[in-house]
Homo-oligomer: A and B are copies of this chain.
Amino acid sequence: MSEIISLVNELERKNIKVTQQRRIILGILNNNKGEHLSARDIYTLGKDIDDSIGLSTVYRTLNLLRDVGIIAEYHFDKEFAKYELSCQKEQDIHHHLICKNCGKIIEVENYLPGHFKDEIYDKNQFICQEFSLKVSGLCKECQQLFSEEKTS
């Protein structure tokens, strides 16, 4: 995992101090790509590496990384915030299907037409930096549960 170095470089390039705690948090995010971690998850994982790390530092760091675009923050349902490294490559972009019944989150590929960023700029003069599609509905398993209920 040498990608952590490029993440640290990105901080330096933005004139953000690279502290031990920030390095730890970036490492955790980098080792859990594709996962959606809460601030508490990251705090717990961080404790294993450096027991003295504080929860407020985790929050402050996550807010900082979000503001400079290194990580993405999601709010699924009424749950608390979840974080993951921002997608660097266009083909890494994915979206989320959220089951209204069991809360499961399924990641799916990007369904949006490639030109949609341009379309948004042409029509609204709005520069799209990030986008995320949230689809709510019923997952395969919960559909079956409901059809069983009806027949019983």
Contacts and interface: CB of A to CB of B under 8 A. Distances in A.
A108 to B, nearest CB: 6
A85 to B, nearest CB: 16
Interface residues of A, number: 33
Contact of A137 (B100, B130, B137): B130
Contacts of A129: 100, 136-138
B134 A131 contact: yes
Interface in A73-113: 75, 78, 81, 97, 99-100, 106, 108, 111-113
A116 B133 CA distance: 12
Interface string A123-142: 11111111111111111100
A119 interface: yes
Copies in the complex: 2
A143 interface: yes
A18 interface: no
Interface string A40-81: 000000000000000000000000000000000001001001
Given A100-B129, A129-B136, A129-B138, 15 more contacts: A97-B120, A97-B128, A108-B120, A108-B124, A111-B113, A111-B119, A112-B112, A113-B113, A124-B140, A125-B143, A126-B138, A127-B143, A128-B136, A129-B137, A130-B137
